[in-house]
Amino acid sequence: MNGEAAPELGPWERRRIRTSLEIECVALQLIADRGLDSVTVEQIANAVGISTRTFFRYFRNVPDVLGAVSARETERLCELVMLRPADEPLLDAFRTVYRDYAYSLVGMHDPGDPDVELKTSALALWGRIVQRDPEAGLSLGRVNDVLTRGFERVIRVRLGLPDDDQLTAGVLGAALGGAVWFTYVHWLQLDTTDPLQLYLDRAFDRLAELDDSAALTRPTRA
């Protein structure tokens, strides 16, 4: 399935994106070091060397910074899923993209992207924050909502669902998003040397079982 090429950004938009990423990385570093409740907008602005007014041009508040990573990474993953072959089963498309993503968490951004270092740094810092406080990452970063909405759009296109079928894409998007988030947090909390993909593969296997209805219809143990 071919995706449309992204429009080339002008100098002003590139500067705006870079400034946003610089603020984001400084804020995430402070949150990772001190905890979310101990970081203020004023501290972030001082550390970046900007005014609080400039901060508010990019983010509503400190917790809003946490949502930037999940939104950006979800958009990137959805773009990659859309580029998978049109005849590839939906679950296989997500599995393949996440396999590559998990094996190269900081290496899947376009090497020609001038902001690749800031984006990978932000992702690593966000992971530290989630590892320490996954509930904060979930609620304040709006992870489940972001994943579900992003996956829902991809599912709707790939399956060719009609506009009046809100349930199918929503349920499948919520199932995929919930499985991915749970697995990621579970892997972080284990603090294991095993690769994330090992756990994601297991999660996709469980989803495949549900898709075959075997896990839902077989008798339960007494």
- CA dist 200 and 216 (Å) reads 21
Confirm if 137 and 129 have CB atoms less than 8 A apart: yes
Q: Which of 42, 97, 104 is nearest to 74 (CA)?
A: 97
Kindly report which listed range (112-116, 145-149, 187-191) carries the lowest average pLDDT score. Answer: 112-116
Q: Which of 122, 136, 120 is nearest to 185 (CA)?
A: 136
Calculate the average pLDDT of the chain: 85
The pLDDT assigned to 185 comes to: 84
- 215 half-sphere exposure, CB direction, 13 A CA radius: 8
Residue 108 or residue 114, greater confidence? 114
The 10 Å Cβ neighbour count of residue 21 is 19
The pLDDT assigned to 109 comes to: 60
Confirm if 91 and 209 have CB atoms less than 8 A apart: no
For 4-18, the pLDDT digits (tens) are 555 677 888 889 999
For 118-139, the pLDDT digits (tens) are 998 998 899 888 888 777 666 5
For 96-110, the pLDDT digits (tens) are 998 887 666 544 566
Scanning the structure block, which residue is given the tokens 């993953």? 77
- CA dist 211 and 222 (Å) reads 24
- CA dist 21 and 119 (Å) reads 7
Which domains are seen in the chain, by residue range?
Answer: 67-217 (1.10.357)
